[in-house]
Structure 1
């Protein structure tokens, strides 16, 4: 077997082991630190956790890149390519700058998110039309789990350049909205009362902050909206389904639904 290949394999194994050990050591040290900090101030612990998770990715990525270069530099062909790159460094810098504008922008935005912390892991936020819980802040994207159960990936650069609402700062409750149809001539006050009673009677209804509003009017149908604030841990889709089912049954029994 070629000696350079053997050296490359050994170097790769050493670097892989070093990266694994580094990750385990950092995780163990941070968990001990986080436990002590959480006993004194849980809010500060949450901020430190957000910063640590992002910086850990940066450190591991840098270590992996250095390790990869160490493996490739074993071969003479790689060294020749490196010398050629250095000889044309100005041109390469321009090309790399254009090609990496978006990735580096996302990385820099991730650093801002990690240190300024307008959001933290576990916060419930709204950005554009998406509302969800921050699951992760990676080197390029921020991952949200929405109230509808979807996973949304938002570029970090957008997170720092777009107005967002952090709902965990003042009110972490989840918003539930249900639209219900009525006959155009239905008594709206009676419909609102029946709907509010039905919505309050669903499982967990005593924990809901309910408001029934009159919505749009069309040529044949009037609409009412049930707006509810549910506890942070609530299943929004299930709560909406329960409210819709219960309210439709109550309105149908009162003969207030539009004719088909």
Structure 2
């Protein structure tokens, strides 16, 4: 039997590589970016896209994040219909946006709404790095600002999961204006006594890291997340110094006081529940 088994393996190994690859259904397997091990996608999904071997946190789409945090059937989406235009007539921008809409099923790189997390109703925004690398344009800023205003009007806490390459260059100064718009919305929310929890995931950079991502009452991050404004090479060329290997990682930011906590994805729901209970139930964290 062993002879037959190894014989079959040898026979399979002799099949041309192109034919062997065709025998594996597309999208069935996933390679870990951290350790290069290969897993079934279903297995990775059960682990919330965290590698069982090296613990690398692979990105989650906005809907994957929502599904793993909020109670089924409790989600109500806000402003789904808002779609980005091309105010500067940037070449090929409309075509690229349409391609991303078809690829992701989203109209913009952020999903906003409210839902129930472990018994707590909360407003939220979840950015999706698969849509234009989570870049911040005018519609993204508008959706986040509206979500914060809705949270204020309904006296709900607000949780945001950030993932972004920064401001969207195709919209020029209009994208940069969203830094101010969202920051003002957060200030009004805070003045009204609102609770904001910011969770930074990989990557959170540029204008997003320099505005709403860093303005939470609690600023936390996933392990290994890249968090910063300018890129490493630009900084090194400017200051003419070599930066530490872990520069701009979540762990580096925590060490230097820029974060309150680095939280494993498998522990995130538990921590958010604790924070929400603490603020909504008079300090009762049970």
TM score, norm. by length of structure 1: 0.22
The structure having more radius of gyration, on CA atoms, is 1
